[in-house]
Amino acid sequence: MNVLFLAPNYPVEMQDFTRGLAEVGARVYGIGDGPVRSLVPKVHRSLAAYRQAQLFDRDATLAAARSFGARFDRVECLWEPFVELAADLREQLGVPGMSLDTARGFRDKELMKERVEAAGLRVPHHARASSAAEVRAAAAVVGFPLIIKPIAGAGSADTFRCDDAAELEAALAKTQHVKELSVEEFVDGDEFTFDTICINGKPAYWNVAWYRPRPLISRTNEWISPQVVVLRHPEQAELRGGVQLGHGVLAALNMGSGYTHMEWYKKQDGEVVFGEIGARPGGARLVDQMNYSIDGDLFREWARAVCWGSFEARVERKYNVAIIFKRAHGEGRITKIDGLDTFMQKYGRHVAVEELLRPGTRRRDWKQTLVSDGYMILRHPDLAATLEMADEFGERVQLYAE
Ligand X SMILES: Nc1ncnc2c1ncn2[C@@H]1O[C@H](COP(=O)(O)OP(=O)(O)OP(=O)(O)O)[C@@H](O)[C@H]1O
**Pairing mode of beta strands 2-6, 27-32:** parallel
Q: How far is the CB of 150 from ligand X (least distance, A)?
A: 7
Contacts of 315 (CB under 8 A, 6+ apart): 205, 294, 296
**107 touches ligand X by CB under 6 A:** no
Q: Of 57, 96, 50, 58, which Cα lies nearest the Cα of 75?
A: 96
Q: How far is the CB of 66 from ligand X (least distance, A)?
A: 32
**215 touches ligand X by CB under 6 A:** yes
Q: Phi first, then psi: give them for residue 343, nearest 5 degrees.
A: -60, -45
Residue from 73, 93, 132, 153 touching ligand X (CB under 6 A): that is: 153
Q: Which stretch binds ligand X (CB under 6 A): 68-76, 155-163, 295-303, 361-369?
A: 155-163
Q: How far is the CB of 390 from Mg ion (least distance, A)?
A: 21
10, 37 Cβ separation under 8 angstroms: no
Q: How far is the CB of 370 from ligand X (least distance, A)?
A: 7
Q: Of 227, 197, 202, 235, which Cα lies nearest the Cα of 317?
A: 235
Q: Give the x-and-dash track for 123-142 against ligand X (CB under 6 A).
A: -x------------------
Q: How far is the CB of 276 from Mg ion (least distance, A)?
A: 5
- Kindly tell me which of 132 and 216 has the beta carbon lying closer to ligand X: 216
Give residue 105's Cα distance to chain centre: 16
Give residue 218's Cα distance to chain centre: 15
**288 touches ligand X by CB under 6 A:** no
Contacts of 341 (CB under 8 A, 6+ apart): none
Whole-number Å distance between alpha carbons of 320 and 209: 9
Residue from 103, 147, 183, 197 touching ligand X (CB under 6 A): that is: 147
Q: Which stretch binds ligand X (CB under 6 A): 27-35, 183-191, 251-259, 347-355?
A: 183-191
Q: How far is the CB of 182 from ligand X (least distance, A)?
A: 8
Give, as ranges, the residues between 256 and 295 that touch Mg ion (CB under 5 A).
Answer: 263
Whole-number Å distance between alpha carbons of 340 and 147: 38
Q: Phi first, then psi: give them for residue 40, nearest 5 degrees.
A: -75, 155
Q: Which residues of this chain interact with ligand X, rule CB under 6 A?
A: 124, 147, 149, 153-157, 159, 184-187, 191, 214-216, 263, 275-276
